[in-house]
Homo-oligomer: A and B are copies of this chain.
Amino acid sequence: MSAHHTHARHERSAANSAAIEDYVKAIYALERRGTGPVGTSELAERLGVAPATATAMLKRLDGLGLVHHQPYRGVGLTDAGQKVALEVVRHHRLIESYLSEALGMPWDRVHEEAEVLEHYISEELEELIASKLGDPSHDPHGDPIPGRDLAPPADDGSVPLAELESGAVATFTRVSDSDPEMLRYLAEHGIRPGVELSVTGRQPFGGPVYVEVGGAEHALGGELVRRMRVAPAAG
């Protein structure tokens, strides 16, 4: 008995395809930004597919009970959908953390790798990684890692650096993981989550923000300061 076990097809824990997980994760992210219901086109654009493709998938996801899709009115996650999204986000951020800390993969490369592997690691491997890292609460970019209970992470009260007034002091908390160039730039200048910074000056109309970090001063561009989030010093 007991033949090969070398099967071609690999079912993931739940029966969710990588595509399904990508849609659900994208909807989760768009819902999180709080700007009302999620539209088909913005979703499609984020995923790099045609709007018609997103419509088709939304119909499937609705049938699977992962989203509520009101034609022409937008889409939102069901509780089941949110669980799936948080599971994938947990995978993503644990993998990023692991690659960075245990394997020394550069900060700006881990996102791409995690974007793939998040769909394929088993629950057992997720668990091993989490334990090895000591159940971290945040990934290397400062994004919160959902816990085993898959509760949605609480809002950390951070604001874009762009919103700070001149003279403000704050802690750099997080930055989007998806732009390698930006991450490389920050890494090169020693600006990583957790560091204290103070705004020494700023130019209007999206001009640079002058920031003092670890004794050095940097002029950070408009795009960058909109993506960097900080926790203003209390008071």
Contact = CB atoms under 8 A, between A and B. Distances in A.
A179 B5 contact: yes
Contacts of A2: 179, 181, 223
B113 A47 contact: no
A121 B117 contact: yes
A195 interface: no
Contacts of A105: 124-125, 128
B7 A47 contact: yes
A157 interface: no
A125 B102 CA distance: 12
Interface stretch (A17-25, A135-143, A210-218): A17-25
A181 B3 CA distance: 12
Contacts of A116: 10, 120, 122
A33 interface: no
Contacts of A102: 102
A119 to B, nearest CB: 8
A102 B99 CA distance: 13
Interface string A37-73: 0000000011111000000000000000000000000
A158 to B, nearest CB: 20
Contacts of A22: 8
A19 B10 CA distance: 10
Contacts of A14: none
A123 to B, nearest CB: 11
B115 A124 contact: no
A47 B115 contact: no
Contacts of A162: none
A2 B176 CA distance: 12
A98 to B, nearest CB: 9
A23 B47 contact: no
A117 B117 contact: yes
B125 A6 contact: no
A103 interface: yes
A129 interface: yes
Contacts of A19: 8
Nearest to A4: B46
B103 A113 contact: no
B128 A47 contact: no
